Chains A and B, each alone.
Chain A
Amino acid sequence: MQGQKDKPLPFELDFAASPGDMRRALDRISLALVAAGLGAARLSRVELVLAEVLNNIAEHAYAGQPAGRVRLRVAPDGDCLRTVIRDRGRPMPGGNPPKAALPDMDVPRDALPEGGFGWYLIHTQADALEYRREGGENRLELRFAPRPGR
């Protein structure tokens, strides 16, 4: 992994889409964001969204193949925090990230969903999302704006 020098941001990491590397990357990003003074509420949104994005890369983009590389850049952009995540796995099905639908929760207890929350959380906890497939890479850009309240 390549780290930062003096300022906590911008921050760029290059790591394998393996559980251990992804967790270490998330830890380092959290530390950098705390050092950069990001508030607790926004920090928890960023942590959750990035965890979901990385899970998806490991489980879908690189499904059935050895853990590929992920490049992740976190940079301030005015009031916003901008993150760009790149991988060289399979493109998103249909060329677009899945929509933000919450699975049906009004079902009998034994039929409750055990998954399918990831994209819902990504769409609702990030403030803007842009996906491109370019040069054999998936490029997902997310923005996190300050939100009123906690």
Chain B
Amino acid sequence: MELDSSNIDGIQVISVKVDRIDSVSAIRFKDAVRAAAGEGPGRVVLDLSQVTFVDSSGLGAIVAVMKHLGPERKLDLAALTPEVEKLFRLTRMDTVFGIYPDAVAATGPAAGPNRATGS
């Protein structure tokens, strides 16, 4: 699973470099993101701008990553493509995650833990 990971002002930004998070890639995705998130204290932002398809396995993997990070580390999402945004809306997962238009917005000064808008 190809990821780019960088730390911006204490926020771990992880860009997913595959176009699908599905039953084929869900487990690899989960393991790779957990490893990239590391053990630090900061928020994690998952940049999904290159992901055009997520199925229920992929959705489950994203939830699993969020749970793995624990209550102290928030997982936010950025740059959802229309198809992926729709899946989050359909499953009401847009109420669970902070969703930002892009990684810049997710890491900017206004991106406090309660400032994300659902859609």
Write out, one digit per residue, whether chain B residues 11-32 have a CB within 8 A of any chain A CB (1) or not (0). 0000000001011100000000
| A75 adjacent to chain B (CB < 8 Å) | no
Cβ–Cβ < 8 Å partners of B20 in chain A = 23
| B59 adjacent to chain A (CB < 8 Å) | yes
Separation of A48 and B23 alpha carbons in the complex (Å): 12
Chain B residues with CB under 8 Å of chain A are 20, 22-24, 53, 55-57, 59-61, 63-64, 66-67, 71, 82-83, 86-87, 90-93, 95-96
Number of interface residues of A (CB under 8 A): 28
Contact in complex: A55, B67 (CB < 8 Å): no
Contact in complex: A102, B24 (CB < 8 Å): no
Q: Which single member of A44, A109, A118, A150 contacts B56 (CB below 8 Å)?
A: A118
Separation of A55 and B58 alpha carbons in the complex (Å): 12
B78 to chain A, nearest CB (A): 19
Chain A residues with CB under 8 Å of chain B are 19-20, 22-23, 44, 47-48, 51-52, 55, 58-59, 102, 105, 109-110, 112-118, 120-121, 124-125, 150
Separation of A115 and B64 alpha carbons in the complex (Å): 10
Contact in complex: B90, A44 (CB < 8 Å): no
